Amino acid sequence: MSITFEKVSHIYSDGTPYRFVALSDVDLDIIEGQMTAIVGQTGSGKSTLVQHLNGLLLPASGKINVLDHVIEAGSHPKGLKSLRGKVGLVFQFPEYQLFEETVLKDIAFGPKNFGFTEKEAIEKARHAMKLVSLGKEFEEKSPLELSGGQKRRVAIAGILAMDPQVLVLDEPTAGLDPQGTIQMMELFRELNQKHHKTVLIVTHDMEQVFNYCDRVIVMAKGSVHTHTTCEEFFRDSSLCNSLAILPPALIRMKDALKEKGFTIKDEMEDIHELSKEIAREVKHG
């Protein structure tokens, strides 16, 4: 089982003067159990791409395979609801989808739709609240009286409560404070490593890609520009530079050191490793 795209295209408003080809001939093979980042400039088709994963958008041509579900252009896909239970999609700015009177009820809404009893759904909701570090005191609050960041957590918890196998997040940390961003990213990493969820995350933040993800997909003008491992992608900054992406600070540092004559090996995990390398160089040189 894996997630594959074969020659997938998507056209918005086909047949009107507003026709727009948002995806063209996308071929992808997303590896399960990994954390994959999707990056690309605004308008490059990232959100369009991820909405194909749970059948919210259907391809104009091509074929998609997600966890044994086949979505093919032209034919009406079956079992979309069960697919949506398995692929949890958190939208860009998901705080606008809250509607229940209380936070707990809102989070329990998803599981209830997928056939869990009231009691089970509440249980799942409580668990999801713990995951996103929302305390018990929030349970009975109205979602409307929360701050933006708290709403975001509620919305993400609403998807986590469905316990999906694949978690797709469209810019989940945009607009969160630095502390909250780190908490969220740590949570996604934990879901990926401990609970073996496949995580796909749309982001503009290269530090997140570098620090948390295994693979990276670069979208450009509706096509997949690059799909590779993060190590490969950040090996040197030339690929980033050619894409007008600012590489993570660590990579920039490494490149700057190399330019000044240091010899530093290419595989670089974190700042400790880099400092060790520098120390070694300085002592010997």
Ligand X SMILES: Nc1ncnc2c1ncn2[C@@H]1O[C@H](COP(=O)(O)OP(=O)(O)OP(=O)(O)O)[C@@H](O)[C@H]1O
Contact status, residue 94 vs residue 176, Cβ threshold 8 Å? no
Smallest distance, another protein to C-beta of residue 28, A: 20
CB nearer to ligand X: give 163 or 170.
Answer: 170
74: alpha, beta or left, given left = phi > 0 and alpha = psi -120 to 50?
Answer: left
What are the angstrom distances between the C-alpha of 190 and each of 27, 131, 167, 178, 196?
29, 10, 12, 18, 9
The DSSP output letter for 98 is: -
Q: What character string, x for contact with ligand X (CB under 6 A) and - otherwise, covers 48-67? A: x-------------------
- 210 interacts with another protein by CB under 8 A: no
- 12 interacts with ligand X by CB under 6 A: yes
- Binder of residue 162, out of ligand X, another protein, Mg ion, none (CB less than 5 to 8 A by kind): another protein
- Binder of residue 17, out of ligand X, Mg ion, another protein, none (CB less than 5 to 8 A by kind): another protein
Q: Of residues 13-52, which lie at the interface with Mg ion (CB under 5 A)?
A: 47
What are the angstrom distances between the C-alpha of 278 and each of 40, 241, 260?
32, 24, 12
Q: How far apart are CA 111 and CA 245, in angstroms?
A: 39
Span interacting with another protein, options 22-30, 107-115, 126-134, 218-226, rule CB under 8 A: 107-115
Smallest distance, another protein to C-beta of residue 186, A: 24
End-to-end CA distance of the chain: give it in Å, rounded.
Answer: 51
CB nearer to ligand X: give 52 or 151.
Answer: 52
User: Mapping DSSP to helix (H, G, I), strand (E, B) and coil, where does residue 11 land?
Assistant: strand
φ, ψ at 219 (rounded to 5°): -95, 140
* DSSP-derived pairing of the beta strands 35-40 and 198-202: parallel
Contact status, residue 230 vs residue 209, Cβ threshold 8 Å? yes
Q: How far apart are CA 262 and CA 203, in angstroms?
A: 32
- Binder of residue 254, out of Mg ion, ligand X, another protein, none (CB less than 5 to 8 A by kind): none
Contact status, residue 169 vs residue 153, Cβ threshold 8 Å? no
The DSSP output letter for 160 is: H
CB nearer to ligand X: give 47 or 173.
Answer: 47
Q: Of residues 160-199, which lie at the interface with ligand X (CB under 6 A)?
A: none
- 46 interacts with ligand X by CB under 6 A: yes
- Binder of residue 110, out of another protein, Mg ion, ligand X, none (CB less than 5 to 8 A by kind): another protein
Contact status, residue 49 vs residue 37, Cβ threshold 8 Å? no
CB nearer to ligand X: give 63 or 221.
Answer: 221
Residue 223 structure tokens = 């096509």
Q: Of residues 87-106, which lie at the interface with Mg ion (CB under 5 A)?
A: 92
- 16 interacts with ligand X by CB under 6 A: no
CB nearer to Mg ion: give 204 or 235.
Answer: 204
CB nearer to ligand X: give 16 or 179.
Answer: 16
| Contacts to ligand X by CB under 6 A | 12-13, 20, 22, 40, 42-48, 92
| Contacts to Mg ion by CB under 5 A | 47, 92
